[in-house]
Amino acid sequence: MTTLLYDLCGRDPELRFSPYCWRAKMALVHKGLELETAATHYTDIAAIENGAAKAVPVLNDNGRVVPDSFAIARYLDEAYPDRPPLMGDEAMVAACRLIEGWANLTLGPIIMRMIVLRIHDQLSDADRPYFRKTREARFGRKLEEHQTGVEANLDALNAALQPARLALAENTWLGGRAPRFTDYILFGSLMWLTVIAGRLPLAADDGVTAWFGRCLDLNGGFARRAKLAKAA
């Protein structure tokens, strides 16, 4: 029985930074699945599972191929209903969509301004021109202009994280009493920043920092073993 996840990597195959892949990996270990990952470069994605997807993560669970982190979490709840739920019911699926939108559309652009050039610099020789071309077309400027750095965007990140901070003042997890996909969505975004920046640049006494540490400890410290880039 193998559960294989195609997981984005840098020039160093151990450097796994994709927020979406982190969401999927946390969902898989949450279900207690024995996970194998295939280190995947951007320029390898087209060849995955006979062209099954244009983006990673892509899951192959004993022959069942599922692209997209959110779809993977939904699939896992359907396929493994006896294991701890990631979302569980339709209300939670709908709430997770909102959290996904917030993480991708509010936090994502702030984190991009912090690290996009650093991501580029971590990529393989083949990936770098692809990444530069596609991202510069998206942002309408050079990566060197788009990245203004961690410190310059920290106030914006802290402000954008306030909803999570307030929720975590009431509950141990964004999912309430236990971690759910709610948690893994935000965790994935902050892991992206942490792996590339080499550290989570939030204050030590921030409730989000404490929660992030709890996430790192989940499932035998699965995410704590992640390789980080050298901090600047």
> Which H helix or E strand runs over 105?
none
Q: State the minimum distance, in angstroms, from the CB of residue 103 to ligand GSH.
A: 10
Quick check: 213 and 220 in contact, CB under 8 A? no
Choices 26-34, 52-60, 119-127, 141-149; region in contact with ligand GSH by CB under 6 A: 52-60
Quick check: 18 and 192 in contact, CB under 8 A? yes
Among 57, 85, 175, 179, binds ligand GSH (CB under 6 A): 57
Of 112-151, which residues contact ligand GSH (CB under 6 A)?
A: 134
* Site for ligand GSH contains 56 (CB under 6 A): yes
Residues 6+ apart with CB under 8 A from 230: 198
Choices 27-35, 64-72, 156-164, 202-210; region in contact with ligand GSH by CB under 6 A: 64-72
CA distance 5 to 227: 17
How many chain residues bind ligand GSH (CB under 6 A)?
Answer: 12
* Site for ligand GSH contains 69 (CB under 6 A): yes
Q: State the minimum distance, in angstroms, from the CB of residue 172 to ligand GSH.
A: 25
Choices 67-75, 82-90, 152-160, 170-178; region in contact with ligand GSH by CB under 6 A: 67-75
CA atoms within 13 A on the CB side of 134: 9
CA distance 207 to 67: 32
Helices (H), 123-197: 127-139, 143-146, 154-160, 162-170, 181-197
Choices 31-39, 55-63, 164-172, 224-232; region in contact with ligand GSH by CB under 6 A: 55-63
Among 5, 15, 37, 70, binds ligand GSH (CB under 6 A): 70
* Site for ligand GSH contains 45 (CB under 6 A): yes
Helices (H), the chain: 19-30, 69-79, 90-102, 108-122, 127-139, 143-146, 154-160, 162-170, 181-197, 207-221
Nearer to ligand GSH, 20 or 181 (CB): 20
Task: Enumerate the β-bridge partners of residue 37.
Answer: 5
Nearer to ligand GSH, 68 or 77 (CB): 68
Quick check: 49 and 65 in contact, CB under 8 A? yes
* Site for ligand GSH contains 77 (CB under 6 A): no
* Site for ligand GSH contains 211 (CB under 6 A): no
Summarize as ranges the residues that interact with ligand GSH (CB under 6 A).
8, 18, 20, 42, 45, 55-57, 68-70, 134
